[in-house]
Amino acid sequence: MSPSPYSRKIGRLQLTVVLGDITERATDAVVNAAAISNIDYAEQNRDLAWRVNVTGAENAAEGCGRINARYVFFSSDAVFDGAAGPYREQDAVNPVNFYGKTKAEAEKAVLSIYPQTAVVRISLVVGYPVTGGNSFYPSLEERLRSGKEIRYPERELRTPVDVLTLAESVLELAENDVRGIVHLGSTGSVSRYELARMVAKEMGYAPDSIRPEEADAGPGRAPRHRNGVISVERARALLKTRMLGVEETVRRSVRERR
- Burial (Cβ within 10 Å: 0-12, 13-18, ≥19) of residue 163: buried
Answer whether residue 86 shows pLDDT above 50. Answer: yes
* 152 carries an active-site annotation: no
Answer whether residue 176 shows pLDDT above 70. Answer: yes
Please state whether the predicted TM-score (pTM) of the whole model is above 0.85.
Answer: yes
Answer whether residue 7 shows pLDDT above 80. Answer: no
Contacts of 125 (CB under 8 A, 6+ apart): 135, 160, 161, 162, 163, 166
Residue 163 — φ and ψ, nearest 5°? -65, -30
Confidence of residue 52 (pLDDT cuts 50, 70, 90): very high
All domains of the chain, ordered by start, with CATH?
6-255 (3.40.50.720)
Can you tell me the distance from the alpha carbon of 16 to that of 3, in angstroms, rounded to the nearest whole number? 12
- Active-site position among 87, 99, 114, 152: 99
Across the range 23-49, mean pLDDT stands at 88
Answer whether residue 187 shows pLDDT above 50. Answer: yes
Can you tell me the distance from the alpha carbon of 141 to that of 97, in angstroms, rounded to the nearest whole number? 29
Across the range 136-150, mean pLDDT stands at 91
